[in-house]
Chain A
Amino acid sequence: MLIRIDPSSAEPLFEQVGQQVRALVARGDLPVGTRLPSARDLAASLDVNLHTVLHAYQDLRDDGVIELRRGRGAVVAHAPDHAPLHRAIAAVVAAARDLDVPPATAVALLKEALR
């Protein structure tokens, strides 16, 4: 798995990490049972605070994306089928491009709708 973060972005680092793991799991790039790197290793690799990664992992666990097991670390959990959601997102992206809506605006609308 490839994880990239941008410290110059306004978005908190733990959310950046969490979102990428979410996306990888949702796309099927990280199948159920995949072991994620330990929080310590990931924090060292990204040169961020350990608590940043732990925060991301705890959010992911709370949302049922991963399981945190003592000794085994973080493991991708059994997730429901997200295919309909991906189709809907593809439709939203297509509509936004058709209407020349900038990505930031589309994301803002989506965030508003999910609130």
Chain B
Amino acid sequence: MTTPTTTVPFRRSTTILTLVVPVAVLAGATLVAASWADDLPDPVAVHWGAHGPDGFGGLTSAILPMAVVGLLTSVGFWALSFWAGRSAATRRIAAGTSVGLAVFLGGILLGGLAGQRGLADAHDAPGLATTILVAALAGVVCGALAAAVSPGDPERPATAPIDPHAPRLALSGSERAVWQRTATSRSMVVVAAVAAVTVLAVTVVTRVWALGLLTVAIVALIATMAVFDVTVDDRGLVAKGLLGWPRLEVPLDEVVAARATTVVPVRDYGGWGYRVGRGGRIGVVLRKGEALEVRRTGERVAVVTVDDAATAAALLNTLADRARA
């Protein structure tokens, strides 16, 4: 494809947030767990079933899976943001997931072991439901924090005119225009609804009421991820979720060129939703097929799957032309 001419920005903060902080969290959890060795039964409980602990092993077998999974994830997200983190969204998703997962895994390890301190037999270990809930909550909060402190995109107005071969729309000098469309993911709504009902049923059967919170989380996810309002006007492109978030914005002065394209969600983005795709492109991917692709300054690319993308692309190019004239 195109030859890279600019380097990925914010590599130092990206490395700190996606690699240094998560590894420090995992290492800290490992050290704390190791310092408890004398208080813990041997073997310790390392796996829990519906009726309490059902898997046992040495302390190392409790620590190792957490450390390995956490480390691999961190290195993966560090690599993604180091080499493909041109957009703030990529860096935020990488930092948030990396830190959030490390805190979650460390929390599960320490929570599971903390309940076993002073026990003679690991079979008496308490349940894990509270630990999972607290660890998940801490993971989400810390992940959100990491995403928030991740550096945003500085303004990078384009200097060159729009590609003359890109599609245009006939618009007279005094005319103003807006293109608007709602993009909905039917499959996401169906999948999320089935998931919510299933979790709700499991909640009622097992009486683990904490799971009910998961239902709330699923419903919230549908609300934010399955329906997007897409608008092109003289401020640029905005795609925003039902609640106004998440939001994908390309200011008009950062548009390099827009065109209609075709998206295959799993191949190009590994799934559906607000995603990071191949080469760090940001996608609002709600279905297979027609999509608006906007190339943006800083070698960034934003994609939204939406009908009538050709009109949207033509209008965006035309308005950018006019603003740059």
Q: Which residue of A lies closest to B311 (CB)?
A: A2
Give the A interface residue count (CB, 8 A).
19
24 contacts between A and B (CB under 8 A): A1-B179, A1-B180, A1-B181, A2-B177, A2-B179, A2-B315, A3-B177, A3-B179, A4-B176, A6-B174, A34-B182, A36-B180, A37-B229, A37-B231, A41-B180, A41-B231, A42-B180, A44-B233, A45-B180, A45-B231, A45-B233, A45-B234, A46-B176, A47-B234
Q: Which residue of A lies closest to B178 (CB)?
A: A45
Classify the interface of chain B: helix, strand, loop or mixed: strand
Known contacts A4-B175, A8-B174: A35-B311 contact under CB 8 Å: no
> How many A-B Cβ pairs are below 8 Å?
53
Asked if A42 contacts B178 (CB within 8 A), the reply is: yes
Asked if B176 contacts A7 (CB within 8 A), the reply is: yes
User: Could you list 7 further interchain pairs (A-B, Cβ under 8 angstroms) beyond the known A3-B178, A8-B174, A46-B178?
Assistant: A2-B311, A3-B179, A6-B176, A41-B180, A45-B180, A46-B176, A46-B233
Check: B171 CB closer than 8 A to any chain A CB: yes
Give the B interface residue count (CB, 8 A).
18
A-B complex: 4 closest residue pairs judged by Cβ atoms: A45-B233, A45-B178, A4-B177, A8-B174
Check: B35 CB closer than 8 A to any chain A CB: no
CA distance A66 to B315 in the complex (A): 26
Known contacts A35-B182, A37-B229: A5-B315 contact under CB 8 Å: no
Q: Find chain B residues with CB under 8 A from A2 CB.
A: 177-179, 311, 315
Check: B172 CB closer than 8 A to any chain A CB: yes
Q: Find chain A residues with CB under 8 A from B231 CB.
A: 37, 41, 45
Q: What is A's interface to B at a CB cutoff of 8 Å?
A: 1-8, 34-37, 41-42, 44-48
Contact among A3, A4, A7, A35 for B171, CB-based, below 8 A = A4
Asked if A47 contacts B176 (CB within 8 A), the reply is: yes
Q: What 0/1 pattern do residues 11 to 32 of B give for CB contact below 8 A with A?
A: 0000000000000000000000
Q: Find chain A residues with CB under 8 A from B178 CB.
A: 2-4, 37, 42, 45-46
Q: Find chain B residues with CB under 8 A from A42 CB.
A: 178, 180
Asked if B174 contacts A7 (CB within 8 A), the reply is: yes
CA distance A8 to B235 in the complex (A): 21
Q: Which residue of B lies closest to A7 (CB)?
A: B174
Q: Which residue of A lies closest to B181 (CB)?
A: A1
Min Cβ gap A64→B in Å is 22
Min Cβ gap A55→B in Å is 17
Q: Which residue of B lies closest to A4 (CB)?
A: B177
Asked if B176 contacts A5 (CB within 8 A), the reply is: yes
Q: Which residue of B lies closest to A35 (CB)?
A: B182
CA distance A46 to B172 in the complex (A): 15
Q: Find chain B residues with CB under 8 A from A35 CB.
A: 182
Q: Which residue of A lies closest to B227 (CB)?
A: A35
CA distance A91 to B311 in the complex (A): 28
Min Cβ gap B171→A in Å is 7
Q: What 0/1 pattern do residues 158 to 179 of B give for CB contact below 8 A with A?
A: 0000000000000110111111
